[in-house]
């Protein structure tokens, strides 16, 4: 095969995978090669920097040097009260620890493919991406080697959070982290994915996370993206919520050079709810391209999206969000809010908040604001003796922290607040 990115498909390691999966990977590789590259005429790539997603310089990550593992393990801190952790380096497992209630499965995806093959097959990338990255989804399917498989049986509440670390090491490497969460009826679980680089080199991360929230189940998920500043990142998140289910999805966008994130919530059953939260800090020449869909397919569903972007230097963000209410999804509540804080004269924020309402008796609204630090807030802080630079940081932190305050898990929130403060302190 000519495309370097697709090498894994024929690698010896893939021979141990189930037949259906090998077949899927082969077919996906063909699909990846045959699908056209996106163009800006495509509405879902409007304003996008398409050159940034030319992936020919990357090859699948080489096996990780084991002697460096110790360093990464010490850096894999995350939250202190986690009841289970998986650590991957270049898509290879380097550590797994867990103390979990009976029946809960928390395994590397590669293992789950053999131990829980049917469950994986029934849920693995079941819906095509709705927001433009069909080609990149095909790439991920063709090349995924590992990731997190989390299964929570009916009625089981996992109190303490679980976490997975994905490390990317070495130049020109591509990783394909995958997360599959299946929370059965009336279960409850919290998972954090930490995406970080071992060094500052360039690389590609093409990840997918799929959350299946069962009837009356509750899933809280955090994706903390802090790749090196040279990484190209394409991340696709799909959340399926069944009747009465409840999903809270928080995304931190801090790292990467160009990061494209697509996040979809399918509200499939009556009474389902999805909260979609994101915080982006963009500086230097970073570009964050965020596309979202709140897809209401059933009546009495609700969704609430709050995305906040703080932009420094010549950074650029794109937010394109759509609330879609299908014809039968009456009595829907759907809200969407994006707020951009411009902290330099060169930063650029693009907002495209969209609505498509085909049902009756809905309460829907969206709002998009772009502005700078409020001068009166600044003066109020200064009048208390707080130095201008600190006042800027504090107001910016407060602006972003409003999003974090909506995330219900304290230990995770505090950990993230600390890294956010550290990030902002650099400005």
89 touching another protein, by CB under 8 A: no
Report if residue 305 touches another protein, rule: CB under 8 A: no
Nearer to another protein, 46 or 154 (CB): 46
Nearer to another protein, 92 or 283 (CB): 283
Annotate each residue in 346-375 with x if it binds another protein (CB under 8 A) or - if it does not, as one string.
Answer: xxxxxxxxxxxxxxxxxxxxxxxxxxxxxx
**Closest to another protein by CB, 42 or 199:** 42
Supply the minimum distance, in Å, between the C-beta of residue 379 and another protein. Answer: 6
Applying CB under 8 A, the site for another protein has a residue count of 65
Smallest gap from residue 360 Cβ to another protein (A): 4
126/194 Cα distance (integer angstroms)? 24
Least distance to another protein from the beta carbon of 377, Å?
Answer: 5
Tell me which DSSP letter residue 63 carries. P
Pairing relation of β-strands 173-175 and 188-197? unpaired
DSSP 258-313: EEEEEEEEEE-STT-EEEEEEEEEE-TT-EEEEEEEEEE-SSS-EEEEEEEEEE-T
CB-CB contact of 351 with 46 (8 Å):
no
Q: Which of 265, 279, 147 is nearest to 208 (CA)?
A: 147
Whose Cβ is closer to another protein: residue 175's or residue 420's?
420
Q: How far apart are CA 349 and CA 14, in angstroms?
A: 42
Residue 226 vs 326, nearer CB to another protein: 326
Q: Please, which of residues 369-408 interact with another protein by CB under 8 A?
A: 369-377, 379-388, 390-391, 394-395, 397-402, 405
- Site mask, another protein, residues 38-77, x = CB under 8 A? ---xxx--xx------------------------------
- Minimum CB separation of residue 390 from another protein in Å reads 6
Which CB atom, from 10 or from 37, has the smaller least distance to another protein?
37
Q: How far is the CB of 425 from another protein (least distance, A)?
A: 12
Q: Does 422 bind another protein (CB under 8 A)?
A: no
3-state secondary structure of 394: helix
Q: Is 30 in the site for another protein (CB under 8 A)?
A: no
Other C-beta atoms lying within 10 Å of the C-beta of residue 159 = 10
First to last CA, the chain: 46
**Does an H or E element contain 110, and which?**
helix 109-115
* Dihedral sign (CA 251, 420, 106, 104): negative
Q: What CA–CA distances, in Å, run from 92 to 68, 174, 258, 279, 333?
A: 13, 12, 24, 28, 42
* Interface ranges with another protein (CB under 8 A): 41-43, 46-47, 327, 330, 340, 342-377, 379-388, 390-391, 394-395, 397-402, 405
């Amino acid at each position: 095969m000519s495309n370097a990115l697709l090498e894994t498909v024929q690698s010896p390691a893939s021979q141990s995978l189930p037949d259906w999966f090998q077949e899927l990977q082969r077919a996906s590789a063909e699909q990846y090669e045959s699908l056209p590259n996106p163009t800006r005429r495509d509405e879902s790539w409007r304003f996008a920097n398409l050159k940034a997603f030319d992936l020919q310089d990357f090859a699948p990550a080489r096996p990780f040097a084991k002697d460096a593992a110790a360093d990464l393990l010490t850096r894999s801190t995350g939250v202190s009260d986690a009841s289970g952790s998986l650590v991957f380096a270049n898509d290879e497992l380097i550590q797994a620890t867990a103390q979990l209630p009976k029946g809960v499965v928390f395994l590397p995806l590669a293992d789950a493919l053999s131990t829980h093959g049917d469950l994986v097959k029934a849920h693995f990338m079941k819906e095509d991406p709705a927001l433009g990255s069909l080609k990149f989804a095909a790439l991920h399917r063709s090349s995924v080697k590992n990731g997190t498989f989390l299964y929570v049986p009916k009625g089981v509440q996992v109190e303490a959070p679980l976490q997975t670390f994905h490390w990317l090491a070495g130049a020109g490497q591509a990783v394909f982290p995958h997360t599959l969460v299946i929370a059965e009826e009336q279960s409850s679980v919290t998972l954090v994915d930490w995406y970080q680089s071992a060094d500052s080199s360039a690389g590609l991360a093409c990840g997918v996370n799929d959350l299946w929230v069962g009837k009356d189940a509750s899933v809280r998920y955090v994706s903390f993206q802090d790749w090196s500043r040279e990484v190209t990142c394409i991340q696709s998140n799909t959340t399926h919520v069944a009747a009465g289910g409840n999903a809270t999805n928080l995304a931190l966008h801090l790292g990467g050079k160009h990061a494209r994130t697509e996040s979809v919530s399918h509200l499939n059953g009556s009474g389902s709810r999805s909260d979609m939260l994101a915080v982006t800090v963009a500086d230097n020449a970073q570009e964050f391209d965020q596309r979202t869909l709140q897809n209401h397919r059933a009546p009495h569903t609700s969704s609430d999206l709050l995305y906040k972007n703080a932009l420094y230097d010549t950074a650029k963000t794109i937010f394109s969000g759509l609330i879609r209410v299908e014809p039968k999804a009456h009595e829907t509540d759907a809200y969407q809010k994006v707020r951009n804080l411009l902290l330099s004269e060169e930063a650029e924020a693009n907002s495209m908040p969209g609505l498509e309402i085909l049902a009756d008796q809905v309460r829907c609204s969206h709002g998009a604001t772009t502005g700078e630090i409020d001068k009166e807030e600044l003066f109020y802080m200064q009048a208390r003796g707080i130095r201008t630079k600190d006042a800027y940081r504090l107001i910016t932190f407060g602006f972003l922290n409003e999003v974090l305050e909506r995330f219900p898990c304290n230990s995770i929130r505090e950990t993230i607040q600390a890294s956010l403060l550290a990030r902002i302190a650099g400005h």
